[in-house]
Structure 1
């Protein structure tokens, strides 16, 4: 998850690699997280990735649109599934027929707010079956950071990703 969070931060900041932090809770001021290095790419590439990730939650056909139904901010995200065991080339994966410990892992990465990101998250739910298990957890983390703390105001969120 930490490598996914680090990669998500690079996407959110359009190339600024920062060291991810594992948090139990947030109280008081956040500390600046300076960029370690910058990865350069044409702005059109960053724009395409950002818009595609925004559509995952905020478009009618997005794979995580369900978690965006009552959202108070825009996020960018990517769903994913990681196989635990291999299946034959032409076989069909039927979750109910697979032992729980061999079921797919659910993955979800996100950053928010979309226009001026201050947080990036990565969630993996072991044997969760798919991103539908991980995406609500990520949404809860983002809500706690952005909504519960009334941090949608850009001044209040000048922290984790925006510093530097």
Structure 2
């Protein structure tokens, strides 16, 4: 339980950092942090959330290199963090029970984190995932499938 709460706090920090870094003073049109993207997420085979023209955030390490963690969302009501995805097209990463690598979704005040499955870099701009997840503080397990897509991901290789 403590591990889930700590992860949740870390993810909220990542969302805050990523979305605040896209402020209006970023005037360079080729900066991937001002890019948009799209996403679709299905829980138990039913469309859960989708978005187009969603805000995209990328994270840099201490050396200024982009890392394989991306955020995408629609304002403050929906945010998705995809971490540890493969850098090479067609490669697959296995998601584990602490959502890192994995997919974490924050919808309003609900948080979902993956506990198993795979992520595939299907193209330079698209990451697909398929697995299982749980809602924070609940034991129910859901199947989760979907994708996040943006040309911003192309800087991560």
| TM-score relative to the length of structure 1 | 0.31
**Which structure has more strand as a fraction of its residues?**
2
Q: Which is bigger in relative contact order (C-alpha 8 A, separation at least 6)?
A: 1
Judging by fraction of residues, say which structure has more helix. Answer: 1
Instruction: Point out the structure with max Rg over C-alpha.
Output: 1
Task: Provide the TM-score with structure 2 as the length reference.
Answer: 0.32
